Structures are given as structure tokens and as C-alpha cells.
Amino acid sequence: MKTIFTKLFLLTLIFFNSLTVFSQDEQLLKLEAEFEKIDYKTRLNKLKSIDLNKLSVREKALVEHLYGKTYYLYNSGNGAVEHFIKAKNLYIKAKDYDKVTELSLTLAEQKRLSEYKYEEYKPLLDEAIRYAEKSNKDDLLCATYLEVGISLQKAEPQKAIEFHEKGLKIARKIKNQIYEIRFNRNIGLTYCEFLKDFEKALYYQNLSLEQSREIKYTEGVAYAYVNLASIARNLGEFEKAIKYYNIAENLKFDNYRTNFNIILYQYISDTYRQMKDFEKAIEYLDKKKVLEEIVSKRDEEKYIRDINTKYETKEKELENQELKLKDEKNKLVIYSFIGLFLIILAGAYFRISHINKKKKIAEQERLIESQKLENVLKDQELKEIDKILEGQEKERLKIANDLHDNLGSILATLKLNFQNLYSQKNKNEENGQALFDKTNELIEEAYQKVRGMAHAKNAGVIGSEGLVPAVQNIAKKIAIPGKLTVQVIPFGMTKRFENAMEVTLFRMIQELLTNAIKHAEATAITISLTQDEESINIIIEDNGKGFNPKKTAKNDGMGLSNITKKVEQLNGTFNIDSFEGKGSSIIIDIPL
């Protein structure tokens, strides 16, 4: 009776709390939809008004993503990196690989703007192309082709135009006018700066300008005028270039504004220098320096603002606790009346369910006993697998050493002796010649086979398969149809690691699987393996009974302290997100 009442009471609490959560979700979705249309300060204020504690993992990722985009658009990357990294890790945890790819493109763009070499961020773009084309999502394809095209403009301008034209077709198909404008603008820029075809450059820049004016896209108009000025400079029309630059300077838009003006003032100064008007050239260089100092000052202000935000957050938490206490008192009155009604319902429910109660208890007891037995069997199976793998590794190493050190050296010596013997024999004996030739061939063949076996056998526990197949194999072995599912999700695992690294990672995953089955009593486990150019990320999630990581650290019967030490030796990080009764998420990040 008490249990039924508690369940109904909790359902009521969830209903009331869901009203607040729904409001948060609605607020976040609205902010994402209008993000491009609002200014920097409005974006920040709206983001700060969102309570992260009431959001799901994916929603938290979106908030971090929007924070990153806000700082990124305001100052071309300053203050954005930490938010992008947090967002990417949360999106990986939420298995939203569209957003993971989008962030990879953003990080590639940031490296390009920071003057990294193309080869240093090319793997990010290659992975993005593969995923975008495989998933066939038009918006993501547009973003991918645009960034790849821009990155190739200098090294391979014709190939850059091919990517822009592919993206332009998709943008037209989905009627995304902003992407159309950006593709046309970059095609024109490539023709101007790298192919020196000013007629085509002029056509595409005018098309970009016309489209931007049509939809009142001020930022697009400004960039079009800057590019038209560049064409004019290449044609020696310096007065026209200055006119276009002045139009761009007077247009109002928010995104990248400070950095846009820094670049613009440099262009204007260069143009005046070409015109031999050195006074004006110096004037605009001074303007540029003032803006650069503002950017530097913003970095300092952000550092101070972050400290103040942490302090204000603590004060707000205390204030919220007081408000919650008052709110709880008011809610208690309402819940008391609801409780009386629930008691009546619970009584009726109790009478109806009492007949089947004993049957259910008996079934549950049989199920618990069955699960205990299966857990014992699985625990034993995991131990046996571990012993087998360890034995195989030792045996392979022993065989490799014996073959190479003993039999290999004997065969090499035998071959040398036969060659000496052959050099001393009577060369007129044709039968002896044939015998020696045949013997020498056999010895050479045996020697090469022994060398091949030694190298093959010394491949280690993972062998030629690699980490992902090994993890998939153990997942299949420990899964029980209808009782335990183990899912392996690889993303970006395109290259092999050193055998020692693969063995270490495999051992850690194997130990964590054992914990999930033996201690957490999980029925569903997910293993996510994600690799990028800088790190490998492993996330193991289960729906088990969870645990308190602080208590476990004091009396570790689960091997977690050993795993923590291994991760620290690899300069990685090991994080546990678990609460009693709510499952576990374990995240391992290893730098490459």
C-alpha cells in the first residue's frame, strides 16, 4: 500500500516538475532558431538565463555549442574553444554525430584562420566529408563543402571551385539563400585571388551582392563589397576600391565585426599605399591598432568576467536554495490535498492487485535467482577469457623468441656451411651441383618462413585485427539474448595504434565490462569508441544500479584504481558519472 502511494505521489511530482522543464526546452529551441538574427549581448543574456541543471545531456551540449558560437562570431574564436570542446564531448555522449561533425568543421575553420597548415587539419575535413556524404544531410553537406573549398583555395583553386559548385547545387535544392550567397562569394574570390580570372570573379561577386540585398543580409553585402574592391585593386582601379571599402565600413552587422574591421583597415591602408597617399595609409593602420588593442582587452575582460560569473553563480545557488525551501512549503499544501485523493485511488488499486501479488513475487524471485546464476557464469567466463588472452600473449612471445633466436640461427648457420662446402667441391660433378642447388633452395625457403612466422607471431594479443574488432568480439561473447545487450559504436577509428596501447585499452574496457555485469547488474551496455587527430575517447554506459564513486575510491573492489593509474600513465583523463540507482557513464580520454 505504501509503495503504491509513493509511486503515485512521485508521478505527481514529476508532472509538476515537467512543466518547468518543458518551459526550459521551449526557451532553448527558440534561442537556437533565432540565434543568427540577434546580437552578441542578447545572445549572452539569453544563454545565462537557462538553468543547465534541468537539461538533458544533448541540451547541455547545445547550450555549450551556442556559447562557443557566440564568442566565436564576436571575436573570431577568442573564448570559444573551451565551450566547443565541452560541447563536442557532450554530443559524443549523446551520440549526436551530426553535431560532432559540425564542431569538427568549426575547429578546422578556427585552425585555418589561425594560419595552421592545411595538412594539420585535413584529417578533420576528410572525416567530415565521409560522414556528411554517408549521412546525406543537406545542411551538413553544405557546411562541409564550403569549409573544404575555402581550405583548398590557395593550394588547389580549381578543386576548391568544384567543392563550392557541389555545395551550391545542394543549397539551391534546399533553398538555403545564405549558403548560396557564401558559395557564390567564395567562387568569385577564388577566381580573383588565385586564378586571376577577373571577369568570372566580377560575375560571382555581383551575384552574391544582388542575392544579399534581396534578403537584406547586411553581412553578405559587406563581404561582397570588400571582394569587389579586391577585384578593382587587381585591375588598378584604386579609387573605385576605396569607394567599395568605405561602403563596407559603414554597413552595420554584429558577427565578426571587430575582426572584419581589422582586416578592412589593413586593406584600405594597403590601397592608399599603392596610391602613394602615405598619410591616409598610416591613418588606417592606426585605426587597425586601436581595434587590435580592444581585442586584447576583451580577452582580459573575459578572464575577469569568468571569475565574477563563478562568484555570482555561488551566490545565486544560495539564493535559489532559499527560494526552493519557500516553494516546497507551498507545494506541500497542494500535494497534501492531492495525496488524499491518491490514497483513495491507491486503496482501490491495492484490492485489485492483491490477488496477483503472490504470483508476481514468486516470478520475481525466480528471475532474481536466474540472474544471479547468469552473473556468476558471466563473471567466470570473463576470467577465463582473460586467462586465455594472457596465456596466448605469453605463448606467442615465447614461440617468436625461440624461432628467431634458436631455429633461425641454426638454419642461417647451416646455410653458410653448405655454401662453404659448395665452394670447395669439384665443379665438374653435375649431380652434386644439382643436389647442392636443391638443398640451398630448401634451406633459404625454410629460413624465410621462420622469419615470417616470428614476425607474425609477435603481433601480440590484438594481432592483425585491431582494437575495434577485439572489443566487438568480446561484446558478442558476453551478450545474452533477452538478458544482456552489449553495443559497440566506433566513430573515426581509422588508424591502428601501437600494440601495447591497444592491449592496454582492451584490458581497461574488459575490466569495465566485468564491473558493469558483476557489480552493476546491468542489462544494457554501450561502448563508444571515438578517434580524432588529437585523442581517442572511450565512453562505457550501462543501465545498472549505479554507485557512489567517492565511496568506491576508498574501498575499490572493482579495479577502478588500477584503470585510473593506467590512464594517468598515458597522460589521459578518467571520469565517472554515476548515481546510485541511475546507471553509470565512464569517460576515458587518451591523447594521441
Question: 387-400: per-residue pLDDT in tens?
Answer: 556 656 666 676 66
**Cα–Cα distance for residue pair 124/464, rounded to 1 Å:** 26
Instruction: Let me know if residue 86 belongs to a domain.
Output: no
Q: Which of 437, 457, 477 is the last residue of a domain?
A: 457
Instruction: Give the per-residue pLDDT at 473.
Output: 85
Asked whether residue 427 falls in the same domain as residue 553, the answer is no
Q: Is residue 241 classed as helix, strand or coil in its secondary structure?
A: helix
Instruction: Let me know if residue 267 belongs to a domain.
Output: no
Asked whether residue 426 falls in the same domain as residue 532, the answer is no
Instruction: Give the per-residue pLDDT at 17.
Output: 46
Q: Which range (23-27, 106-110, 321-325) has the least confidence?
A: 321-325
Return phi, psi of residue 525, to 5°.
-130, 135
Cell 580520454 -> residue: 589
Instruction: Let me know if residue 19 belongs to a domain.
Output: no
Instruction: Let me know if residue 381 belongs to a domain.
Output: yes
Average pLDDT, the chain: 77
CATH number, position 517: 3.30.565.10
Query: Residue 459 class from Cβ within 10 Å (0-12 exposed, 13-18 middle, 19+ buried)?
Result: middle
Cell 578556427 -> residue: 110
Going by their DSSP bridges, the two strands 573-578 and 535-542 should be labelled as unpaired
Return phi, psi of residue 536, to 5°.
-120, 135
Write out the DSSP string of 165-209.
Answer: HHHHHHHHHHT-HHHHHHHHHHHHHHHHHTS--HHHHHHHHHHHH
**Cα–Cα distance for residue pair 234/244, rounded to 1 Å:** 14
Question: Any idea what DSSP says for residue 536?
Answer: E
Instruction: Give the per-residue pLDDT at 515.
Output: 83
| pLDDT higher than threshold 50 for residue 162 | yes
Asked whether residue 390 falls in the same domain as residue 494, the answer is no
Instruction: Let me know if residue 407 belongs to a domain.
Output: yes
Choice between 361 and 215, residue whose per-residue pLDDT is larger: 215
What average pLDDT score do residues 224-230 get? 95
Choice between 561 and 526, residue whose per-residue pLDDT is larger: 526
Asked whether residue 381 falls in the same domain as residue 480, the answer is no
Query: Residue 132 CB: number of other CB atoms within 10 A?
Result: 23
Q: Which residue type, as a one-letter code, is found at position 319?
A: E
Q: What is the pLDDT of residues 275-322, one digit of tens each?
A: 999 899 899 988 888 887 776 665 545 543 443 444 344 444 444 555
DSSP H helices in 403-429? 408-424
What average pLDDT score do residues 568-583 get? 86
Q: Which of 457, 478, 493 is the last residue of a domain?
A: 457
Asked whether residue 322 falls in the same domain as residue 453, the answer is yes
Instruction: Give the per-residue pLDDT at 24.
Output: 55
Instruction: Let me know if residue 518 belongs to a domain.
Output: yes
| pLDDT higher than threshold 80 for residue 385 | no
Share of the chain above pLDDT 90, in %: 23
Asked whether residue 472 falls in the same domain as residue 448, the answer is no
Q: Which range (12-16, 544-548, 588-592) has the least confidence?
A: 12-16
What average pLDDT score do residues 187-200 get? 95
Q: Which residue type, as a one-letter code, is found at position 430?
A: E
Choice between 415 and 534, residue whose per-residue pLDDT is larger: 534
Asked whether residue 519 falls in the same domain as residue 571, the answer is yes
Instruction: Let me know if residue 531 belongs to a domain.
Output: yes
Asked whether residue 505 falls in the same domain as residue 528, the answer is yes
Asked whether residue 409 falls in the same domain as residue 447, the answer is yes
Q: Which of 415, 435, 457 is the last residue of a domain?
A: 457
Q: Which range (252-256, 259-263, 289-293, 373-377) has the least confidence?
A: 373-377
Asked whether residue 452 falls in the same domain as residue 480, the answer is no
Q: What is the pLDDT of residues 120-144, one digit of tens each?
A: 888 888 888 888 888 888 988 899 9
Q: Across the strands, what pairs with 526?
A: 487, 541
Written as nine digits, the cell of 375 is: 552473473
- Please choose, from the candidates 566, 468, 582, 513, the residue with its C-alpha nearest in 3D space to the C-alpha of residue 574: 566
> Model pTM greater than 0.75?
no
Angle at 549 between CA 544 and CA 553, to 5 degrees: 130
Range of the domain at 527: 467-591
What average pLDDT score do residues 209-219 get? 94
Instruction: Give the per-residue pLDDT at 163.
Output: 94
Asked whether residue 346 falls in the same domain as residue 391, the answer is yes
Q: What is the pLDDT of residues 455-495, one digit of tens each?
A: 554 444 455 577 888 888 888 888 878 788 899 988 888 77
| pLDDT higher than threshold 50 for residue 72 | yes
| pLDDT higher than threshold 90 for residue 247 | yes
Q: Which range (73-82, 88-97, 100-109) has the least confidence?
A: 73-82
Q: How many domains does the chain have?
A: 2
The model's confidence at residue 373, banded by pLDDT at 50, 70 and 90, is very low
Asked whether residue 525 falls in the same domain as residue 569, the answer is yes
Q: Is residue 379 classed as helix, strand or coil in its secondary structure?
A: helix
Instruction: Let me know if residue 233 belongs to a domain.
Output: no
Q: What is the pLDDT of residues 488-541, one digit of tens each?
A: 988 888 778 887 788 888 888 988 888 888 778 888 999 999 888 888 999 999
Instruction: Give the per-residue pLDDT at 241.
Output: 94
